[in-house]
Chain A
Amino acid sequence: MTTATDTTATGHADHHHGPEKGLMRWIKTTNHKDIGTLYLWFAFTMVLIGGAMAMVIRMELFQPGLQLVDPHFFNQMTTMHGLIMVFGAIMPAFVGLGNWLIPMMVGAPDMALPRMNNWSFWILPFAGGILLSTFFMEGGAPAFGWTFYAPLSTTFAPDSTDFFIFAVHLLGFSSIMGAINIIATVLNMRAPEMKLMDMPLFVWTWLITSFLLIGAMPVLAGAVTMMLTDRNFGTAFFDATGGGDPVMFQHIFWFFGHPEVYIMILPAFGVVSHIIPTFARKPLFGYSSMVYATASIAFLSYIVWAHHMFLTGMPVAGELYFMYATMMIAVPTGVKVFNWIATMWKGSMTFETPMLWAISFVFLFTIGGFSGLMLGIAPADIQYHDTYFVVAHFHYVLVTGALWSIIAATFYWLPKWTGKMYNEGLAKVHFWWAVISVNVLFFPQHFLGLAGMPRRIPDYALQFADFNMISSIGGFAFGASFILFTYIIIDAIRNGEPATKRPWEGAKGLEWTLDPKAEYHSFNKPPSRKLIEQESQNS
């Protein structure tokens, strides 16, 4: 135990009780570690459900022609895969990581608003349940794509769409409450001796992400509310009959949608900024430039939304503005990639599993970033729009970007969460399995897209057959890698070797000063200035 908590053990004895026993512990819990665990298991379940849908999609696309499912069901699969992965898997996984790590990293005993924290988690299973229940309703689940453009989602959608709208409202509530909680925790619960520029980068990126969430999620709530009233209460926001405009839906949606993609990647930047310095055994290169780059990306994310809409009919001046603004995001992102590489430069590198995931994140995420730049070129986008090139692009940034960092974080902090080490040999096998199969899965989709294969279609022309088959084989292999991942995690929790307080030699951060398995209540007394300076990334 840390010296800080030792001194107060007697004074706060009543705060040192352990968790409640049984199921009620998880339902009633207000402990940030319990809630973090709940979030992570929820996200993991959703990854498996969304992944199963992706398997259906890849099976149907294994060969040309309609083989397994009818086109309407295929559309439901692509739509729900997107919604589940974005709102059910990636976002809750990051909130889970934030819950587990932020209080420990800023030397706080818990989140600022623990009761609200419990609510924001427990809304999620209900929202996810409502969303999934639409499969069993008349007309089936939403089949209009995860972007639910009007009028597909208003005039031409099944009745179950109203349940989808309600689920999105709940998911939005949960995210906004989570964001408010993180802002309050970071700004108010931070150890009094910790200045803003002492904060670890994961905390910084999450703080900035929270502001994005507060700004963007309510706009999504507004958009789906307009859909709801258009569908049921005779308004005409997106209906030209009543003076509305369906193109406006796309503006409102992408005003949310573009910050959303940074909501899903900024915390990933934070995670990688912890792992790379640890295994390079060097301080993070350019700490403050990392902070400023994150803030710039967040700001720019609000003013580039219409690059998703180059084909809606825009004046040339508009296309030029959105093209250049989009390109500009490459500058702060480039700063980050440069800093990660400079951190590794001449470092004493070792390649434990978290580091492997982090390095492949830098490499593969950058590929996704480059294809994003290609898509941002307005004249080129006319060719790329709505093809598999777009699918390849956003899977490179979301799977080998966001998901990669979540898996990296799981291996990196698992010893602190469980007090146990995972099986390094098996974890390396899993890494190579996943990293090879994911490239077999998504890389050929670039070629398919450039050759003109449209996305969201269950059938394709014969010339796309070979690459689709390769892609599907990669997909099945990548899907199977999750069986091994599940085994490694459960095996570590059950039979893992005991971990030490600081299982990674070069790791810095207040969380590593706690017990090997972090105490149920940590930092009842804030850490000292000396300890904060010792563990700071900014030194």
Chain B
Amino acid sequence: MEQKKITKGFWIKLVSAPILMFFFAYAMVPIYDVFCEITGFNGTTGRVDSEQQYAVDENRKVEVSFFAMTMGGFPVQFGPKVNSMEIVPGKFYTTSYVAKNNTDKTVIGQAIPSVAPTDAALYFKKLECFCFNRQVFKPHEEVEMTLRFVVEPELDKRIKDISLSYNFFKLES
């Protein structure tokens, strides 16, 4: 019997497998985003498009605390208007964050939200948020940015406290 020859098809398979896996690494980027959105992994919050009706249990209370951070030399003062709220899951609430640009330049930034504990992230939904778009801060301008959110009643009963944190990043200035 003779040695088998390496066929063209086999070659193509062998070489294309690593090439495919290389691009798979890049495919992990959008897969990761979708995965975080679906599972609330990494504290990614969700979005609702309208004021839906939820079954509300008026006796159930959850404390939501608001935090603010800035990264990478973001030159805008940024913080929540109220530090915490007591809320009822299933009801919509409005609060706001205040930002003041202390520089002489226009600053553009993007806020990235994160919720802890991560098991709460899936049920923390926002109707309106300044984090949906990039924000433009004119020189020495102070702005109030609103946030309208709901915590869905499906939230694990054991969770009594939720922290919502925004991290502002500079895009341009």
Contact = CB atoms under 8 A, between A and B. Distances in A.
Interface string B13-34: 0110111111111101100100
Nearest to A318: B41
Interface string A176-220: 100010011001110011000000000000000000001111111
A315 B24 contact: no
A247 interface: yes
Contacts of B21: 214-219, 222
Interface of B: 1-6, 10, 14-15, 17-26, 28-29, 32, 39-43, 71-72, 110, 112, 116, 118-119, 122, 167, 169-171
A183 B18 contact: no
A221 B6 contact: no
B14 A180 contact: yes
23 contacts: A176-B18, A183-B14, A189-B3, A215-B17, A215-B21, A217-B18, A218-B19, A218-B24, A218-B25, A219-B22, A222-B21, A240-B71, A240-B167, A241-B71, A241-B170, A241-B171, A242-B169, A251-B28, A255-B25, A313-B42, A313-B43, A313-B116, A315-B118
A253 B118 CA distance: 22
Nearest to B168: A241
A192 B42 contact: no
A119 B43 CA distance: 46
Given A112-B6, A188-B6, A218-B22, A240 B41 contact: no
Contact of B18 (A218, A223, A245): A218
Interface string A86-119: 0000000000000000000000100010000000
8 pairs of A and B residues whose beta carbons are closest in the complex: A222-B25, A192-B1, A218-B21, A241-B169, A218-B22, A219-B25, A218-B18, A188-B4
B1 A526 contact: yes
B100 to A, nearest CB: 21
Interface string A238-252: 001111010110011
Contact of A315 (B15, B41, B169): B41
Contacts of A237: 29
Contacts of B15: 180
Contacts, number: 104
B123 to A, nearest CB: 12
Contacts of A245: 32, 42
A120 to B, nearest CB: 13
Contact of A214 (B1, B4, B18, B116): B18
B2 A243 contact: no
A255 B3 CA distance: 37
B15 to A, nearest CB: 7
A193 B2 CA distance: 10
A316 interface: yes
A316 B119 contact: yes
Given A240-B112, A316-B119, A318-B41, A248 B32 contact: yes
A108 B6 CA distance: 14
Given A187-B10, A221-B25, A313-B42, 9 more contacts: A180-B15, A188-B3, A218-B18, A222-B25, A237-B29, A241-B71, A241-B171, A252-B28, A526-B3
A241 B23 contact: no
Nearest to A529: B1
A436 interface: no
B20 to A, nearest CB: 8
Contacts of A225: 25
Contacts of B14: 180, 183-184, 214
B39 A315 contact: yes
A312 B116 CA distance: 12
A151 to B, nearest CB: 10
B43 A192 contact: no
Nearest to B13: A183
Contacts of A223: 25
Contacts of A318: 39, 41
Interface string A40-51: 000000000000
A243 B15 CA distance: 33
Given A180-B14, A217-B18, A193 B1 contact: yes
A314 interface: yes
Nearest to A211: B17
A240 B5 contact: no
A192 B28 contact: no
Contacts of A180: 14-15, 18
Most B C-beta atoms less than 10 A away, residue of A112, A221, A222: A222
Contacts of A216: 21
A219 B167 contact: no
B43 A221 contact: no
B116 A221 contact: no
B42 to A, nearest CB: 6
Contact of A251 (B18, B22, B32): B32
A192 B4 CA distance: 8
Given A189-B3, A251-B32, A241 B116 contact: no
A220 B25 CA distance: 8
A214 B17 contact: yes
Most B C-beta atoms less than 10 A away, residue of A112, A214, A241: A241
